[in-house]
Amino acid sequence: MQANALDETAIRQFIDDIGPAAKELIGHFVTDIRDKISELSHIPDTADITSLTIHAHSLKGLSRSCGMVGMSDVAYELETACRENNRDRAATHFSDVQKHAEPAIKALISFVDKNA
């Protein structure tokens, strides 16, 4: 699955359920996702792997909640590496998160703009 893959059916349902506030709520999700990525940027510097695991788990859930299934899958790999205390693999997966986050976010925003 591509990192910018979207679950369009789920996003359409979200838009239908939330109505006009969907764009604003997606904006909050995007802000939260970017915040989690910022917090995860400390993978090489922190001794607290538990916090990194929590942030990766949260990123996975936030991404899935707003239909960014590809990004959620990438975050899952990061979470797994953190749970296994494998910092090298975590750093590699975090690099994937950084590489794919903005294209995935842009795809989500574009889809919501066209469908809300």
Does the pLDDT value for residue 51 go beyond 90? no
More confident residue, 47 or 2: 2
What pLDDT is attached to residue 68? 95
Q: Tell me the per-residue pLDDT of 58-93, one tens digit each, with 9 for 90 and over.
A: 999 999 999 999 999 999 999 999 999 998 898 899
What pLDDT is attached to residue 52? 86
| Long-range contacts formed by 36-39: CB under 8 A, 24+ apart | 36/62, 37/97, 37/98, 37/101
Instruction: Give residue 3's pLDDT band: very low, low, confident or very high (50, 70, 90).
Output: low
What CA–CA distance (Å, rounded) separates 17 from 62?
A: 18
> Domains along the chain?
8-115 (1.20.120.160)
- Segment 91-102 mean pLDDT: 91
Q: Tell me the per-residue pLDDT of 11-43, one tens digit each, with 9 for 90 and over.
A: 999 999 999 899 999 999 999 999 989 888 876
What CA–CA distance (Å, rounded) separates 49 from 27?
A: 29
Please name which of 56, 95, 63 lies closest in space to residue 78, comparing C-alpha atoms: 56
What CA–CA distance (Å, rounded) separates 106 from 32?
A: 15
What CA–CA distance (Å, rounded) separates 22 from 3?
A: 22
**Total Cβ atoms within 10 A of residue 115:** 13
What pLDDT is attached to residue 39? 82
Does the pLDDT value for residue 45 go beyond 80? no
